[in-house]
Structure 1
Amino acid sequence: MSERKESMMELAEAYVLGGLDEMEKAEYEAYLYENTEEQQRITELRDTTGMLALAVKPAAPPAGMKSRILANVLGSSGASNRTTEPANEQQGHGPEVLLEQARQTIEADSSRRAAEENVSQKADVVSLSERAQNRTAALGAEVAPLSKAQTDIEPRSAKARISRSLWAGAATLMAAAAVILAIYSGQLRSEMNEMRSNLTAMEQRTSDMQQQLAAVNEPAVGAQVDRTVALVGSEDDPNASGMAAMVQDDTGTRLVVQASDLPALSGSEAYQVWLIKDGQPINAGTFLSGDGKGALTYTMEPGDYDMVAITLEPDAEGDQPRGRMVLTGALT
Protein backbone atom coordinates (compact mmCIF):
# COMPACT_ATOMS: atom_id res chain seq x y z
CA MET A 1 0.00 0.00 0.00
CA SER A 2 1.40 3.46 -0.94
CA GLU A 3 2.20 6.02 1.75
CA ARG A 4 -0.32 8.51 0.32
CA LYS A 5 -3.12 5.93 0.22
CA GLU A 6 -2.42 4.92 3.83
CA SER A 7 -2.40 8.54 4.99
CA MET A 8 -5.67 9.20 3.15
CA MET A 9 -7.30 6.10 4.66
CA GLU A 10 -6.43 7.43 8.14
CA LEU A 11 -8.57 10.53 7.42
CA ALA A 12 -11.73 8.55 6.53
CA GLU A 13 -13.28 8.33 10.02
CA ALA A 14 -12.54 11.98 10.82
CA TYR A 15 -14.03 13.00 7.45
CA VAL A 16 -17.29 11.11 8.16
CA LEU A 17 -17.54 12.78 11.58
CA GLY A 18 -16.70 16.27 10.20
CA GLY A 19 -13.44 16.53 12.14
CA LEU A 20 -11.10 17.71 9.33
CA ASP A 21 -9.94 21.25 8.82
CA GLU A 22 -10.48 22.95 5.46
CA MET A 23 -7.09 21.97 4.01
CA GLU A 24 -7.36 18.32 5.07
CA LYS A 25 -10.95 18.14 3.85
CA ALA A 26 -10.02 19.52 0.40
CA GLU A 27 -7.09 17.12 0.07
CA TYR A 28 -9.16 14.09 1.11
CA GLU A 29 -12.10 14.97 -1.16
CA ALA A 30 -9.68 15.24 -4.13
CA TYR A 31 -8.42 11.73 -3.32
CA LEU A 32 -12.00 10.49 -2.79
CA TYR A 33 -13.12 11.83 -6.17
CA GLU A 34 -10.68 9.59 -8.06
CA ASN A 35 -10.91 6.48 -5.89
CA THR A 36 -14.16 4.46 -6.17
CA GLU A 37 -13.02 1.92 -3.58
CA GLU A 38 -12.60 4.68 -1.00
CA GLN A 39 -16.03 6.09 -1.94
CA GLN A 40 -17.58 2.69 -1.14
CA ARG A 41 -15.71 2.62 2.17
CA ILE A 42 -17.01 6.09 3.11
CA THR A 43 -20.57 4.97 2.29
CA GLU A 44 -20.22 1.90 4.54
CA LEU A 45 -18.75 3.98 7.38
CA ARG A 46 -21.66 6.43 7.16
CA ASP A 47 -24.21 3.57 7.15
CA THR A 48 -22.51 1.94 10.13
CA THR A 49 -22.39 5.21 12.09
CA GLY A 50 -26.07 5.85 11.39
CA MET A 51 -27.16 2.37 12.53
CA LEU A 52 -25.02 2.41 15.68
CA ALA A 53 -26.54 5.73 16.71
CA LEU A 54 -29.94 3.99 16.96
CA ALA A 55 -28.61 1.20 19.21
CA VAL A 56 -26.48 3.16 21.71
CA LYS A 57 -27.89 5.27 24.51
CA PRO A 58 -26.64 8.90 24.07
CA ALA A 59 -24.29 10.16 26.78
CA ALA A 60 -25.75 13.03 28.78
CA PRO A 61 -23.61 16.11 29.67
CA PRO A 62 -22.47 16.42 33.30
CA ALA A 63 -25.25 17.34 35.70
CA GLY A 64 -25.52 21.03 36.50
CA MET A 65 -23.29 22.19 33.63
CA LYS A 66 -26.09 23.96 31.78
CA SER A 67 -27.17 25.74 35.00
CA ARG A 68 -23.60 26.86 35.71
CA ILE A 69 -23.13 28.20 32.17
CA LEU A 70 -26.43 30.09 32.23
CA ALA A 71 -25.61 31.48 35.67
CA ASN A 72 -22.27 32.76 34.41
CA VAL A 73 -23.89 34.34 31.34
CA LEU A 74 -26.68 35.95 33.35
CA GLY A 75 -24.19 37.15 35.95
CA SER A 76 -22.04 38.76 33.26
CA SER A 77 -25.09 40.36 31.70
CA GLY A 78 -26.22 41.69 35.09
CA ALA A 79 -22.79 43.19 35.74
CA SER A 80 -22.91 44.90 32.36
CA ASN A 81 -26.36 46.29 33.08
CA ARG A 82 -25.22 47.61 36.46
CA THR A 83 -22.23 49.24 34.83
CA THR A 84 -24.33 50.99 32.22
CA GLU A 85 -27.08 52.15 34.61
CA PRO A 86 -25.14 55.22 35.93
CA ALA A 87 -24.29 56.21 32.42
CA ASN A 88 -27.91 55.92 31.46
CA GLU A 89 -28.90 58.08 34.36
CA GLN A 90 -26.31 60.72 33.41
CA GLN A 91 -26.61 60.57 29.65
CA GLY A 92 -30.12 59.25 29.16
CA HIS A 93 -31.10 56.44 26.80
CA GLY A 94 -29.27 57.70 23.73
CA PRO A 95 -28.37 55.62 20.63
CA GLU A 96 -24.86 54.89 21.93
CA VAL A 97 -26.17 53.34 25.13
CA LEU A 98 -28.67 51.18 23.27
CA LEU A 99 -26.01 49.92 20.85
CA GLU A 100 -23.70 49.03 23.75
CA GLN A 101 -26.46 47.07 25.48
CA ALA A 102 -27.30 45.20 22.27
CA ARG A 103 -23.63 44.31 21.76
CA GLN A 104 -23.28 42.97 25.28
CA THR A 105 -26.45 40.93 24.94
CA ILE A 106 -25.21 39.37 21.66
CA GLU A 107 -21.83 38.53 23.20
CA ALA A 108 -23.47 36.87 26.20
CA ASP A 109 -25.76 34.84 23.95
CA SER A 110 -22.79 33.77 21.76
CA SER A 111 -20.84 32.66 24.83
CA ARG A 112 -23.79 30.58 26.02
CA ARG A 113 -24.22 28.87 22.62
CA ALA A 114 -20.47 28.14 22.36
CA ALA A 115 -20.48 26.54 25.80
CA GLU A 116 -23.50 24.36 24.92
CA GLU A 117 -21.93 23.32 21.60
CA ASN A 118 -18.71 22.37 23.40
CA VAL A 119 -20.66 20.13 25.78
CA SER A 120 -22.56 18.55 22.85
CA GLN A 121 -19.34 17.86 20.92
CA LYS A 122 -17.76 16.17 23.94
CA ALA A 123 -20.86 13.99 24.38
CA ASP A 124 -20.73 13.03 20.67
CA VAL A 125 -17.07 12.00 20.96
CA VAL A 126 -17.81 9.85 24.03
CA SER A 127 -20.74 8.20 22.18
CA LEU A 128 -18.55 7.52 19.13
CA SER A 129 -15.96 5.79 21.36
CA GLU A 130 -18.63 3.54 22.89
CA ARG A 131 -19.97 2.58 19.42
CA ALA A 132 -16.46 1.72 18.21
CA GLN A 133 -15.90 -0.52 21.26
CA ASN A 134 -19.23 -2.37 20.72
CA ARG A 135 -18.51 -2.98 17.02
CA THR A 136 -15.00 -4.28 17.83
CA ALA A 137 -16.37 -6.75 20.42
CA ALA A 138 -18.95 -8.08 17.90
CA LEU A 139 -16.18 -9.01 15.42
CA GLY A 140 -14.04 -10.73 18.07
CA ALA A 141 -11.30 -8.06 18.08
CA GLU A 142 -9.61 -7.27 21.35
CA VAL A 143 -9.53 -3.48 21.48
CA ALA A 144 -8.95 -1.91 24.92
CA PRO A 145 -11.64 0.58 26.02
CA LEU A 146 -10.66 4.22 25.68
CA SER A 147 -10.97 6.58 28.62
CA LYS A 148 -12.76 9.89 28.23
CA ALA A 149 -9.45 11.76 28.48
CA GLN A 150 -7.97 9.60 25.70
CA THR A 151 -11.09 10.18 23.59
CA ASP A 152 -10.75 13.96 23.86
CA ILE A 153 -7.18 13.86 22.45
CA GLU A 154 -7.35 10.68 20.35
CA PRO A 155 -5.20 11.05 17.16
CA ARG A 156 -6.49 10.11 13.73
CA SER A 157 -3.88 7.34 13.45
CA ALA A 158 -5.47 5.44 16.36
CA LYS A 159 -8.87 5.60 14.62
CA ALA A 160 -7.29 4.30 11.42
CA ARG A 161 -5.74 1.33 13.26
CA ILE A 162 -9.11 0.41 14.76
CA SER A 163 -10.76 0.58 11.35
CA ARG A 164 -8.07 -1.55 9.72
CA SER A 165 -8.38 -4.13 12.52
CA LEU A 166 -12.14 -4.40 11.93
CA TRP A 167 -11.78 -4.81 8.15
CA ALA A 168 -8.86 -7.25 8.57
CA GLY A 169 -10.97 -9.43 10.89
CA ALA A 170 -13.83 -9.57 8.39
CA ALA A 171 -11.42 -10.38 5.54
CA THR A 172 -9.86 -13.20 7.58
CA LEU A 173 -13.27 -14.79 8.23
CA MET A 174 -14.17 -14.61 4.53
CA ALA A 175 -10.83 -16.16 3.51
CA ALA A 176 -11.25 -19.02 6.00
CA ALA A 177 -14.77 -19.71 4.69
CA ALA A 178 -13.45 -19.78 1.10
CA VAL A 179 -10.71 -22.29 2.03
CA ILE A 180 -13.20 -24.59 3.81
CA LEU A 181 -15.56 -24.43 0.82
CA ALA A 182 -12.74 -25.30 -1.61
CA ILE A 183 -11.66 -28.33 0.49
CA TYR A 184 -15.25 -29.57 0.75
CA SER A 185 -15.78 -29.16 -3.01
CA GLY A 186 -12.63 -31.15 -3.77
CA GLN A 187 -13.69 -34.00 -1.50
CA LEU A 188 -17.16 -34.02 -3.04
CA ARG A 189 -15.75 -34.19 -6.59
CA SER A 190 -13.46 -37.08 -5.60
CA GLU A 191 -16.36 -39.05 -4.10
CA MET A 192 -18.51 -38.45 -7.18
CA ASN A 193 -15.75 -39.68 -9.50
CA GLU A 194 -15.33 -42.81 -7.41
CA MET A 195 -19.09 -43.46 -7.52
CA ARG A 196 -19.09 -43.06 -11.32
CA SER A 197 -16.25 -45.59 -11.64
CA ASN A 198 -18.05 -48.11 -9.43
CA LEU A 199 -21.27 -47.63 -11.38
CA THR A 200 -19.49 -48.21 -14.71
CA ALA A 201 -17.92 -51.43 -13.40
CA MET A 202 -21.29 -52.68 -12.14
CA GLU A 203 -22.94 -51.94 -15.47
CA GLN A 204 -20.22 -53.88 -17.31
CA ARG A 205 -20.60 -56.89 -15.03
CA THR A 206 -24.38 -56.79 -15.41
CA SER A 207 -24.04 -56.71 -19.20
CA ASP A 208 -21.66 -59.69 -19.17
CA MET A 209 -23.99 -61.69 -16.96
CA GLN A 210 -26.97 -60.92 -19.19
CA GLN A 211 -25.04 -62.08 -22.27
CA GLN A 212 -24.02 -65.28 -20.55
CA LEU A 213 -27.58 -65.93 -19.38
CA ALA A 214 -28.97 -65.35 -22.86
CA ALA A 215 -26.39 -67.74 -24.34
CA VAL A 216 -27.25 -70.44 -21.79
CA ASN A 217 -30.98 -70.17 -22.46
CA GLU A 218 -30.51 -70.66 -26.21
CA PRO A 219 -30.51 -74.33 -27.27
CA ALA A 220 -27.23 -75.48 -28.81
CA VAL A 221 -27.25 -76.50 -32.47
CA GLY A 222 -24.46 -78.51 -34.06
CA ALA A 223 -22.33 -78.64 -30.87
CA GLN A 224 -18.80 -79.94 -31.41
CA VAL A 225 -16.04 -80.51 -28.86
CA ASP A 226 -12.99 -78.52 -29.91
CA ARG A 227 -10.65 -79.36 -27.05
CA THR A 228 -10.65 -81.45 -23.84
CA VAL A 229 -8.20 -80.97 -20.98
CA ALA A 230 -7.69 -83.02 -17.80
CA LEU A 231 -7.44 -80.94 -14.62
CA VAL A 232 -4.79 -82.04 -12.09
CA GLY A 233 -4.83 -81.30 -8.37
CA SER A 234 -2.15 -79.13 -6.78
CA GLU A 235 0.37 -80.25 -4.13
CA ASP A 236 -2.00 -79.08 -1.37
CA ASP A 237 -4.98 -80.91 -2.96
CA PRO A 238 -3.56 -84.00 -4.74
CA ASN A 239 -6.85 -85.89 -4.68
CA ALA A 240 -8.80 -83.23 -6.56
CA SER A 241 -9.47 -83.92 -10.24
CA GLY A 242 -11.56 -82.60 -13.08
CA MET A 243 -12.01 -81.97 -16.79
CA ALA A 244 -12.43 -78.86 -18.98
CA ALA A 245 -13.86 -78.94 -22.50
CA MET A 246 -14.30 -76.26 -25.15
CA VAL A 247 -17.51 -76.80 -27.12
CA GLN A 248 -18.43 -74.89 -30.28
CA ASP A 249 -21.96 -74.51 -31.62
CA ASP A 250 -23.94 -71.97 -33.64
CA THR A 251 -24.04 -69.52 -30.70
CA GLY A 252 -20.27 -69.47 -30.10
CA THR A 253 -17.70 -71.20 -27.91
CA ARG A 254 -18.45 -72.48 -24.45
CA LEU A 255 -16.18 -73.70 -21.69
CA VAL A 256 -17.57 -76.68 -19.75
CA VAL A 257 -15.80 -77.50 -16.45
CA GLN A 258 -16.42 -80.45 -14.13
CA ALA A 259 -14.52 -81.15 -10.88
CA SER A 260 -14.61 -83.77 -8.12
CA ASP A 261 -12.93 -84.57 -4.80
CA LEU A 262 -12.69 -80.88 -4.03
CA PRO A 263 -11.92 -79.59 -0.50
CA ALA A 264 -15.05 -78.66 1.46
CA LEU A 265 -16.06 -74.99 1.49
CA SER A 266 -16.65 -72.93 4.63
CA GLY A 267 -18.34 -69.58 5.19
CA SER A 268 -18.53 -67.49 2.03
CA GLU A 269 -15.82 -69.41 0.16
CA ALA A 270 -16.34 -70.32 -3.50
CA TYR A 271 -14.47 -71.94 -6.40
CA GLN A 272 -13.54 -69.70 -9.32
CA VAL A 273 -12.57 -70.72 -12.87
CA TRP A 274 -9.92 -68.80 -14.83
CA LEU A 275 -8.84 -68.81 -18.46
CA ILE A 276 -5.18 -67.72 -18.62
CA LYS A 277 -3.78 -66.03 -21.73
CA ASP A 278 -0.30 -64.47 -21.91
CA GLY A 279 -0.05 -64.63 -18.12
CA GLN A 280 -3.31 -62.66 -17.58
CA PRO A 281 -6.24 -64.41 -15.85
CA ILE A 282 -9.75 -64.01 -17.36
CA ASN A 283 -12.65 -64.59 -14.98
CA ALA A 284 -14.82 -67.45 -16.26
CA GLY A 285 -17.22 -67.58 -13.28
CA THR A 286 -17.63 -69.16 -9.85
CA PHE A 287 -19.40 -72.26 -8.50
CA LEU A 288 -20.12 -73.93 -5.17
CA SER A 289 -19.31 -77.59 -4.53
CA GLY A 290 -21.58 -80.21 -3.02
CA ASP A 291 -19.95 -83.37 -1.66
CA GLY A 292 -16.72 -82.22 -3.26
CA LYS A 293 -18.24 -81.95 -6.75
CA GLY A 294 -18.95 -78.93 -8.94
CA ALA A 295 -19.51 -77.84 -12.55
CA LEU A 296 -19.66 -74.64 -14.63
CA THR A 297 -20.36 -73.47 -18.19
CA TYR A 298 -19.01 -70.20 -19.58
CA THR A 299 -19.55 -68.55 -22.97
CA MET A 300 -16.08 -67.42 -23.99
CA GLU A 301 -14.43 -65.50 -26.78
CA PRO A 302 -12.59 -67.73 -29.28
CA GLY A 303 -8.84 -67.49 -28.93
CA ASP A 304 -5.62 -69.25 -28.00
CA TYR A 305 -5.54 -69.73 -24.24
CA ASP A 306 -2.59 -71.17 -22.33
CA MET A 307 -4.26 -72.72 -19.29
CA VAL A 308 -7.48 -73.44 -17.36
CA ALA A 309 -7.30 -73.10 -13.55
CA ILE A 310 -9.63 -73.38 -10.55
CA THR A 311 -8.87 -71.48 -7.34
CA LEU A 312 -10.39 -71.53 -3.86
CA GLU A 313 -11.49 -67.94 -3.16
CA PRO A 314 -12.66 -66.27 0.10
CA ASP A 315 -15.87 -65.19 -1.70
CA ALA A 316 -17.44 -65.11 -5.18
CA GLU A 317 -16.85 -61.38 -5.79
CA GLY A 318 -13.23 -61.28 -6.99
CA ASP A 319 -12.06 -60.03 -10.39
CA GLN A 320 -8.49 -61.28 -9.80
CA PRO A 321 -7.21 -64.49 -8.15
CA ARG A 322 -6.82 -64.12 -4.38
CA GLY A 323 -6.91 -67.70 -3.09
CA ARG A 324 -4.79 -70.81 -3.65
CA MET A 325 -4.68 -72.90 -6.82
CA VAL A 326 -6.62 -76.20 -6.58
CA LEU A 327 -6.81 -77.57 -10.17
CA THR A 328 -4.89 -76.68 -13.37
CA GLY A 329 -4.85 -77.88 -16.99
CA ALA A 330 -2.68 -76.82 -19.93
CA LEU A 331 -4.46 -75.92 -23.21
CA THR A 332 -1.30 -75.71 -25.40
Structure 2
Amino acid sequence: MNIVNNPCDQLFSYFVNDLDDHERNEFELHLSACSSCQEELAELSKTWEMLPMELDEVEPPPHWKAEILGEITGSHPEANMEESAEGKNIWVHTSRPGKARRAASIAAACLLIIGAASWWGINQMQRLEQAAERTELMPSQFVAQYDLKSFDQAHPEAKGKAWIAQKGATTQLVLQTSGLPALEGEQAYQVWLVKKGERSNCGTFRVDLQGNGIMTYTLKEAGKDFDTIGITLEPDPGGTQPRGKKMLGI
Protein backbone atom coordinates (compact mmCIF):
# COMPACT_ATOMS: atom_id res chain seq x y z
CA MET A 1 0.00 0.00 0.00
CA ASN A 2 1.25 3.48 -0.84
CA ILE A 3 1.15 5.75 2.25
CA VAL A 4 1.01 9.46 1.37
CA ASN A 5 -0.15 12.60 3.13
CA ASN A 6 -1.59 14.34 0.08
CA PRO A 7 -4.13 12.45 -2.08
CA CYS A 8 -2.85 14.34 -5.14
CA ASP A 9 0.46 12.50 -4.79
CA GLN A 10 -1.29 9.26 -5.80
CA LEU A 11 -1.99 10.64 -9.28
CA PHE A 12 0.98 9.05 -11.05
CA SER A 13 0.54 5.71 -9.29
CA TYR A 14 -3.11 5.80 -10.39
CA PHE A 15 -2.07 6.61 -13.96
CA VAL A 16 0.29 3.61 -14.19
CA ASN A 17 -2.20 1.32 -12.39
CA ASP A 18 0.03 0.82 -9.34
CA LEU A 19 -2.73 1.17 -6.70
CA ASP A 20 -4.66 -1.63 -5.05
CA ASP A 21 -8.46 -1.67 -5.31
CA HIS A 22 -9.00 0.23 -2.06
CA GLU A 23 -6.46 2.93 -2.93
CA ARG A 24 -7.85 3.21 -6.45
CA ASN A 25 -11.41 3.69 -5.19
CA GLU A 26 -10.28 6.32 -2.68
CA PHE A 27 -8.28 8.20 -5.30
CA GLU A 28 -11.14 8.15 -7.83
CA LEU A 29 -13.35 9.72 -5.17
CA HIS A 30 -10.70 12.43 -4.69
CA LEU A 31 -10.26 12.82 -8.46
CA SER A 32 -13.95 13.57 -8.97
CA ALA A 33 -13.57 16.75 -6.90
CA CYS A 34 -9.97 17.82 -7.68
CA SER A 35 -9.63 19.97 -10.80
CA SER A 36 -5.82 20.00 -10.51
CA CYS A 37 -5.61 16.21 -10.66
CA GLN A 38 -8.15 16.12 -13.49
CA GLU A 39 -6.02 18.55 -15.52
CA GLU A 40 -2.81 16.66 -14.81
CA LEU A 41 -4.37 13.29 -15.66
CA ALA A 42 -5.54 14.73 -19.00
CA GLU A 43 -2.00 15.96 -19.77
CA LEU A 44 -0.48 12.59 -18.87
CA SER A 45 -3.03 10.76 -21.02
CA LYS A 46 -2.35 13.09 -23.95
CA THR A 47 1.39 12.44 -23.69
CA TRP A 48 0.89 8.68 -23.44
CA GLU A 49 -1.40 8.64 -26.49
CA MET A 50 1.53 9.84 -28.62
CA LEU A 51 2.86 6.28 -28.57
CA PRO A 52 2.21 4.39 -31.84
CA MET A 53 -1.25 2.86 -31.72
CA GLU A 54 -0.35 -0.39 -33.47
CA LEU A 55 2.22 -1.44 -30.87
CA ASP A 56 1.15 -3.58 -27.93
CA GLU A 57 1.55 -2.08 -24.49
CA VAL A 58 4.50 -3.47 -22.54
CA GLU A 59 4.69 -3.70 -18.77
CA PRO A 60 7.86 -1.84 -17.70
CA PRO A 61 10.53 -3.95 -15.96
CA PRO A 62 9.89 -4.00 -12.18
CA HIS A 63 13.13 -2.19 -11.28
CA TRP A 64 12.43 0.54 -13.86
CA LYS A 65 8.87 1.09 -12.68
CA ALA A 66 10.06 1.19 -9.05
CA GLU A 67 12.67 3.83 -9.90
CA ILE A 68 10.09 6.11 -11.49
CA LEU A 69 7.44 5.69 -8.80
CA GLY A 70 10.03 6.14 -6.06
CA GLU A 71 11.11 9.46 -7.49
CA ILE A 72 7.56 10.70 -8.08
CA THR A 73 6.18 9.72 -4.67
CA GLY A 74 9.32 10.94 -2.92
CA SER A 75 11.94 8.96 -1.07
CA HIS A 76 13.43 11.89 0.91
CA PRO A 77 10.80 13.11 3.42
CA GLU A 78 13.38 15.18 5.24
CA ALA A 79 13.90 17.48 2.23
CA ASN A 80 12.87 21.14 2.59
CA MET A 81 9.62 22.03 0.80
CA GLU A 82 10.68 25.50 -0.32
CA GLU A 83 14.01 24.34 -1.66
CA SER A 84 12.32 21.52 -3.54
CA ALA A 85 9.78 23.86 -5.11
CA GLU A 86 12.52 26.14 -6.38
CA GLY A 87 14.99 23.44 -7.43
CA LYS A 88 15.60 22.51 -11.04
CA ASN A 89 15.58 18.76 -10.42
CA ILE A 90 12.39 17.44 -11.96
CA TRP A 91 12.11 14.54 -9.50
CA VAL A 92 9.91 15.71 -6.62
CA HIS A 93 8.72 14.37 -3.28
CA THR A 94 5.25 14.39 -1.81
CA SER A 95 5.30 17.89 -0.37
CA ARG A 96 5.90 19.74 -3.65
CA PRO A 97 3.22 22.06 -4.99
CA GLY A 98 1.03 21.22 -7.97
CA LYS A 99 3.11 22.73 -10.81
CA ALA A 100 6.31 20.96 -9.76
CA ARG A 101 4.43 17.70 -9.24
CA ARG A 102 2.80 18.05 -12.65
CA ALA A 103 6.17 18.64 -14.34
CA ALA A 104 7.58 15.56 -12.63
CA SER A 105 4.62 13.39 -13.64
CA ILE A 106 4.79 14.50 -17.27
CA ALA A 107 8.55 13.96 -17.23
CA ALA A 108 7.99 10.43 -15.94
CA ALA A 109 5.42 9.79 -18.67
CA CYS A 110 7.95 10.98 -21.23
CA LEU A 111 10.48 8.65 -19.61
CA LEU A 112 8.11 5.74 -20.23
CA ILE A 113 7.72 6.88 -23.84
CA ILE A 114 11.50 7.03 -24.31
CA GLY A 115 11.85 3.51 -22.93
CA ALA A 116 9.13 2.17 -25.20
CA ALA A 117 10.63 3.99 -28.18
CA SER A 118 14.06 2.55 -27.38
CA TRP A 119 12.48 -0.90 -27.03
CA TRP A 120 11.39 -0.75 -30.66
CA GLY A 121 14.37 1.30 -31.85
CA ILE A 122 12.30 4.41 -32.60
CA ASN A 123 14.10 7.72 -32.14
CA GLN A 124 11.77 10.44 -33.46
CA MET A 125 8.07 11.24 -33.42
CA GLN A 126 7.65 11.02 -37.20
CA ARG A 127 9.05 7.47 -37.12
CA LEU A 128 6.92 6.17 -34.26
CA GLU A 129 4.64 4.35 -36.70
CA GLN A 130 7.49 2.22 -38.02
CA ALA A 131 8.40 -0.94 -36.15
CA ALA A 132 12.15 -1.41 -35.77
CA GLU A 133 14.51 -3.96 -34.32
CA ARG A 134 14.24 -4.17 -30.58
CA THR A 135 17.20 -2.99 -28.52
CA GLU A 136 18.06 -3.64 -24.91
CA LEU A 137 16.04 -1.47 -22.53
CA MET A 138 18.12 0.54 -20.07
CA PRO A 139 17.02 2.62 -17.06
CA SER A 140 16.91 6.36 -17.77
CA GLN A 141 17.33 9.38 -15.55
CA PHE A 142 16.40 12.99 -16.27
CA VAL A 143 19.30 15.25 -15.28
CA ALA A 144 18.03 18.67 -16.44
CA GLN A 145 14.73 20.38 -17.27
CA TYR A 146 13.93 23.53 -19.28
CA ASP A 147 10.72 25.50 -19.83
CA LEU A 148 10.13 26.60 -23.43
CA LYS A 149 8.17 29.81 -23.95
CA SER A 150 6.57 31.32 -27.03
CA PHE A 151 8.59 33.72 -29.19
CA ASP A 152 5.71 34.30 -31.63
CA GLN A 153 3.28 37.05 -30.64
CA ALA A 154 0.60 35.49 -32.84
CA HIS A 155 0.69 32.30 -30.73
CA PRO A 156 1.36 33.28 -27.10
CA GLU A 157 -0.26 30.05 -25.92
CA ALA A 158 2.52 27.94 -27.44
CA LYS A 159 4.80 26.35 -24.86
CA GLY A 160 6.92 23.32 -24.22
CA LYS A 161 9.24 21.39 -21.97
CA ALA A 162 12.71 20.02 -22.64
CA TRP A 163 14.59 17.42 -20.64
CA ILE A 164 18.08 15.99 -20.80
CA ALA A 165 17.89 12.24 -20.18
CA GLN A 166 20.88 10.07 -19.32
CA LYS A 167 20.61 6.39 -20.24
CA GLY A 168 23.86 4.56 -19.66
CA ALA A 169 26.48 6.29 -21.81
CA THR A 170 23.79 7.84 -24.01
CA THR A 171 22.45 11.37 -23.50
CA GLN A 172 19.14 12.35 -25.08
CA LEU A 173 17.28 15.61 -25.56
CA VAL A 174 13.55 15.09 -24.99
CA LEU A 175 11.00 17.69 -26.13
CA GLN A 176 7.27 18.05 -25.54
CA THR A 177 5.28 20.94 -27.06
CA SER A 178 1.70 22.18 -27.05
CA GLY A 179 -0.18 25.05 -28.69
CA LEU A 180 2.05 25.32 -31.77
CA PRO A 181 0.32 26.21 -35.06
CA ALA A 182 -0.57 23.29 -37.33
CA LEU A 183 1.86 22.56 -40.17
CA GLU A 184 1.14 22.87 -43.87
CA GLY A 185 2.65 20.82 -46.68
CA GLU A 186 6.30 20.01 -46.06
CA GLN A 187 6.66 22.37 -43.12
CA ALA A 188 8.40 21.08 -40.01
CA TYR A 189 9.50 22.31 -36.63
CA GLN A 190 13.29 22.23 -36.27
CA VAL A 191 15.22 22.10 -33.00
CA TRP A 192 18.49 23.94 -32.44
CA LEU A 193 21.01 23.91 -29.62
CA VAL A 194 23.02 27.13 -29.41
CA LYS A 195 26.50 27.52 -27.92
CA LYS A 196 28.28 30.90 -28.19
CA GLY A 197 26.15 31.82 -31.20
CA GLU A 198 26.81 28.57 -33.05
CA ARG A 199 23.68 26.53 -33.84
CA SER A 200 23.56 22.75 -33.94
CA ASN A 201 20.70 21.01 -35.74
CA CYS A 202 18.93 18.49 -33.49
CA GLY A 203 16.36 17.29 -35.99
CA THR A 204 12.75 18.04 -36.83
CA PHE A 205 9.30 17.01 -35.63
CA ARG A 206 5.66 17.49 -36.57
CA VAL A 207 2.62 18.26 -34.43
CA ASP A 208 -1.01 17.21 -34.34
CA LEU A 209 -3.92 19.56 -34.98
CA GLN A 210 -3.71 20.87 -31.41
CA GLY A 211 -0.02 21.71 -31.75
CA ASN A 212 1.13 18.81 -29.57
CA GLY A 213 4.44 17.20 -30.44
CA ILE A 214 7.20 15.13 -28.92
CA MET A 215 10.72 14.36 -30.07
CA THR A 216 13.84 12.63 -28.78
CA TYR A 217 17.33 13.27 -30.09
CA THR A 218 20.57 11.55 -29.10
CA LEU A 219 23.19 14.16 -28.30
CA LYS A 220 26.77 13.82 -29.46
CA GLU A 221 29.51 14.62 -26.97
CA ALA A 222 30.01 18.13 -28.39
CA GLY A 223 26.28 18.85 -28.20
CA LYS A 224 25.91 18.14 -24.48
CA ASP A 225 27.14 21.63 -23.58
CA PHE A 226 24.83 24.40 -24.82
CA ASP A 227 23.60 27.85 -23.82
CA THR A 228 20.02 27.76 -25.09
CA ILE A 229 17.42 25.82 -27.07
CA GLY A 230 15.38 27.19 -29.98
CA ILE A 231 12.57 25.78 -32.12
CA THR A 232 11.86 27.30 -35.53
CA LEU A 233 9.09 26.83 -38.08
CA GLU A 234 10.81 25.71 -41.31
CA PRO A 235 9.48 25.34 -44.88
CA ASP A 236 10.84 21.77 -44.99
CA PRO A 237 12.95 19.48 -42.78
CA GLY A 238 16.12 19.77 -44.89
CA GLY A 239 17.71 22.95 -43.55
CA THR A 240 21.15 23.11 -41.93
CA GLN A 241 20.62 26.66 -40.61
CA PRO A 242 17.42 28.39 -39.42
CA ARG A 243 15.36 29.84 -42.28
CA GLY A 244 12.03 30.36 -40.56
CA LYS A 245 10.54 32.11 -37.56
CA LYS A 246 11.57 31.22 -34.02
CA MET A 247 8.53 29.78 -32.26
CA LEU A 248 9.81 28.50 -28.90
CA GLY A 249 12.91 28.97 -26.79
CA ILE A 250 14.27 29.31 -23.26
TM-score > 0.5 by shorter chain: no
TM-score normalised according to structure 2 size: 0.44
Between 1 and 2, higher relative CO (CA 8 Å, sep ≥ 6) is seen in: 2
Structure with greater Cα Rg: 1
Task: Write 1 or 2 for the structure with the bigger share of helix.
Answer: 1
Please state which structure has a larger fraction of its residues in strand: 2
Structure 1 length normalisation: TM-score? 0.33
